[in-house]
Amino acid sequence: MTLLSVRDLRVWFPIQKGLFRRVVGHVRAVDGVTFEVNEGETVALVGESGCGKTTVGRAILRLVEPTSGEVRFLGENVADLDEKGLRKVRKNASMVFQDPMTSLDPRMRVIDIVAEGIDEHGLVKGQEERKRRVTELLERVELRGEHLTRYPHEFSGGQRQRIGIARALAVEPKLIICDEAVSALDLSIQAQVLNLLDDLKRELNLAYLFISHDLAVVRHIADRVFVMYLGVIVEEGPADALFSAPLHPYTQVLLASAPSVESRLGAAPLAGDVPSPANPPPGCRFHTRCPVKIARCSVEVPEPRKVRLQTVACHLVSPDAASQEGTSPTPGDASQEGESR
Ligand code: SF4
């Protein structure tokens, strides 16, 4: 069953200038993103900082207002919902944030942090049941009941993120949006938290939208991966296929630069910074940094095409090349097209 359906989502932020705050342009943080998350599935949204992936997560819960497009959660159009409807969405789709230190109120005890959603949605009756429920949640994330009355600063980074996960679980969600949920943790702690998330997924039939800049992290947890660059999806597919044979040059570079992911491609690290989403390059948005670009890349937007198990937006990746046994559909010899790089 489809839990979440995102169609052609755009989130543009106005750029205002002058005394009268005239709108002189837009930051196109998200510029036409489409994907689905099914029950019990982990979908990863990956890309460099500033590619728009966090804005997608926030737009799903209407923490920022979409400019256009459609977000359907459990069949309902999120844009049409009033405050009561939005509360229902936020009960069924909760969030785990990157930095557990800043996302947990340092003045609150663990019991009150974890019970925030329980209190807001009236999920228990009385203090005893509240305490029992929070204790159960802490045990689920491998913390102990004696932690109930402590404060966030008394915990390690990994433990604080477990508290954040317990808080997300408290509302009994169907979907958890994990926004860089393990990025602030040491590698060994990252692995423990990822294993915990994976166990919880199986035990509770949860779905995750896992937002991360790190392909090595999502490899361990994702069923499907969407790679985002400058507000658009450039490649998507089942995690196994995408990791074993990435097709888009951007995915290849991301994979090659992920320290714990073996890459057979040997792609060079990316040159330059991500261009401004206020003024994205024409044609393929990746052309200013692409190591294999050709002339048409700077004028013609590549349409997403199905190639093997992936969908890829790149002029050099063709289904024909992929259909030939033993022929790699990875971007290659641009001279075949008679164009200069
Ligand atoms: Fe590179 Fe061109 Fe493909 Fe874009 S369309 S990724 S610039 S080869």
The pLDDT tens digits for 188-247 are 899 999 999 999 999 999 999 999 998 888 988 999 999 999 999 999 999 999 999 999
Residue after which a domain boundary falls, among 222, 238, 260: 222
160 and 64 within one domain: yes
Is the distance from CB of 322 to CB of 237 less than 8 angstroms?
Answer: no
In a domain, 242, yes or no: no
Integer Cα distance of 253 and 263 in angstroms: 9
268 and 164 within one domain: no
In a domain, 333, yes or no: no
192 and 294 within one domain: no
pLDDT at residue 297 is higher than 90: yes
314 and 194 within one domain: no
In a domain, 237, yes or no: no
CA of 292 to the centre of ligand 1 (A): 7
In a domain, 37, yes or no: yes
17 and 143 within one domain: yes
pLDDT at residue 258 is higher than 70: no
Cβ–ligand 1 distance for 334 under 6 Å, the answer no
Average pLDDT over residues 337-341: 39
Integer Cα distance of 101 and 158 in angstroms: 10
Assign residue 48 the CATH number of its domain: 3.40.50.300
Predicted model pTM:
0.89
CA of 36 to the centre of ligand 1 (A): 25
pLDDT at residue 325 is higher than 50: no
C-alpha 85, offset from chain centre: 24
pLDDT at 303: 95
CA of 224 to the centre of ligand 1 (A): 22
Give the mutation target among 233, 314, 318, 335 for probing the ligand 1 site: most ligand atoms within 8 A of CB: 314
With cut-offs at 50, 70 and 90, classify the pLDDT of residue 263: very low
290 and 210 within one domain: no
Nearest CA to ligand 1 atom 7: 287
CA of 288 to the centre of ligand 1 (A): 9
172 and 37 within one domain: yes
pLDDT at 312: 97
With cut-offs at 50, 70 and 90, classify the pLDDT of residue 127: very high
Domain that holds residue 123: 2-222
CA of 333 to the centre of ligand 1 (A): 12
pLDDT at 321: 56
Identify how many contiguous H helices and E strands the chain contains and give both numbers.
12, 12
In a domain, 214, yes or no: yes
Integer Cα distance of 272 and 312 in angstroms: 23
Number of domains in the chain: 2
| Long-range CB pairs of 11-14, under 8 A, 24+ apart, other chains included | 11/52, 11/55, 11/56, 11/59, 11/64, 11/65, 11/66, 11/67, 12/67
In a domain, 85, yes or no: yes
35 bridge partner residues = 6
In a domain, 73, yes or no: yes
Percent of the chain, pLDDT > 70? Answer: 90
pLDDT at 274: 83
| Residues belonging to the chain | 341
215 and 86 within one domain: yes
265 and 144 within one domain: no
140 and 26 within one domain: yes
> What tokens appear for 63 in the block?
């923490």
Integer Cα distance of 121 and 280 in angstroms: 42
φ and ψ at residue 76, rounded to 5 degrees: -100, 140
In a domain, 230, yes or no: no
pLDDT at residue 328 is higher than 90: no
Cβ–ligand 1 distance for 255 under 6 Å, the answer no
315 and 215 within one domain: no
132 and 43 within one domain: yes
